Amino acid sequence: MTITAPASNEPTTRQVSPRVSQSVFDGSRLRVVLLVDVNDGAQQQFLEAYEQLCNQVASVPGHVSDQLCQSIENPSQWLITSEWESAPPFLAWVNSEEHVRMVEPLHSCVRDTRSLRFHVVRETGGPAADAEPGKRRLQTSPRIGDGVIRHALTFTVRPGSEETVAKILANYDPPEPQVDDTTRLIRTSLFMHGNRVVRAIEVRGDLLAALRHVARQPEVRAVEEAINPYLEQHRDLDDPESARVFFTRAALPAVHHVTAEREDPAAQRHALYYPARPGCGMRLAQLLAEQDEAAADDPRNPVLCSTIFQRDDVVVRLIDVRGDLEAGDPALSVGLPDPAQAAELTAFPEGAAGAGGSVPKHGDLTRYLGLARMQLVTDRHSPRA
């Protein structure tokens, strides 16, 4: 094979935009990889539990296929791969109470699990060429990342305990940021909206290793124990199953992130809580994602960085803003420039909509910005190594 050098007037490297963007909403197929470490002697029990789960998953909308593989080197190691039409239906299922119940039989026979999710970018052979147009979509181009993984946890506390919980969560010694040679905690931001707590973390390296590292720190464990009496959902951190179920339900995954090409070291971090109407959480998150992508290049846009977290009907938008949040165009700050769409997907708090429940007008977005704004409890940057 002969490789011809480019002509002298052709660029030898492709110019890459500095914008960072990641999203679950590009419509391409999703490949999910689940690594499972089965307890010694429990292989048959695991296989039977998987077959029961497989029959249930087959009827979930958006599911295409799955495979179960066993290691040829270590029979305790298993691999489950599944294909989905796109990411949103998978996320809707994996974050549901139905999924929590489905996987319960697996936990008694597994030692550890690790889930990885990938959009399909390229494919060789297989049935894709014969598929109907639009049925087996591939991601059109690779996204540019910044090496940072963003994740959040959310839970509610008993009404009336908000002030006490905020004080507990604000006063603790931060854990050691360096997890191992490849993983480091970058930033932890904690907000409250009424009795809802949202803790967002940024990690460079392995998210699972970082979460386990934080959970083991005595200062963090002391805070978690201190807020236990105020939680609406009971948990016992000494009971692995109780802790697992709690943190499974508390997981608030990032579904979209965009960083504009502009930077401002003085940017302020805020969080907005959007009460989605029942069943509209994913659609609301997608609308916010589309608006943030479209506004990223607008020099009038005060939002320099946006991360959207969504689970069921809980939608949170974490934003880094240039200047005062209320000073600019409220449509850009809220991320919902069309009041009609906002009213359709959002359960506006009492007093946010127009009189008589009418569609909120543009001026009402300023009021909604104040109502959606979350209270900052703590925002901590880890010092550079």
Tens of pLDDT, residues 139-166: 887 888 888 999 999 999 999 999 999 9
The whole-angstrom distance between residue 119's C-alpha and the CA centroid of its chain comes to 15
Tens of pLDDT, residues 17-29: 467 889 999 889 9
What's the pTM value of the predicted model, to 2 decimals? 0.86
pLDDT at 116: 93
Burial 1-20 (b: 16+ CB within 10 A, else e): eeeeeeeeeeeeeeeeeeeb
Tens of pLDDT, residues 247-287: 889 999 999 999 987 677 788 999 999 989 999 999 999 99
The dihedral of CA 97, 100, 104, 106: what is its sign? positive
Which domains are present in the chain? 26-121 (3.30.70.100), 147-385 (3.30.70.100)
CA separation for the pair 221, 366 (Å, rounded): 39
CA separation for the pair 344, 340 (Å, rounded): 6
In three-state secondary structure terms, 305 is strand
Residue 363: CB atoms within 10 Å? 10
Tens of pLDDT, residues 319-362: 999 888 877 778 888 888 877 777 788 875 544 444 344 444 54
Is the pLDDT confidence value at 290 over 50? yes
In three-state secondary structure terms, 318 is strand
CA separation for the pair 275, 315 (Å, rounded): 7
Angle at 150 between CA 146 and CA 384, to 5 degrees: 60
Closest CA to 269 of 149, 382, 144, 381: 381
Are 119 and 29 in contact by the 8 Å Cβ rule? The answer is yes
Tokens, residue 238? 């000494």
Residue 76 exposed, middle or buried by CB count within 10 Å (0-12, 13-18, 19+): middle
CA separation for the pair 152, 137 (Å, rounded): 29
Q: What is the mean pLDDT of residues 78-93?
A: 95
- Give 316's strand partners: 273, 309
- Give 259's strand partners: 20, 305
C-alpha Rg value of the chain to the nearest Å: 23
Tens of pLDDT, residues 208-258: 899 889 888 888 889 999 999 999 998 988 888 888 889 889 999 999 999
pLDDT at 241: 82
For 8, list phi and psi in degrees, rounded to 5: -60, -25
What DSSP string describes 66-126? EEEEE-SS-TTEEEEEEEESSHHHHHHHHTSHHHHHHTHHHHTTEEEEEEEEEE-----SG
CA separation for the pair 137, 131 (Å, rounded): 10
CA separation for the pair 235, 287 (Å, rounded): 34
The dihedral of CA 353, 354, 355, 358: what is its sign? negative
Amino acid at 211: L
CA separation for the pair 150, 203 (Å, rounded): 7
In three-state secondary structure terms, 203 is strand
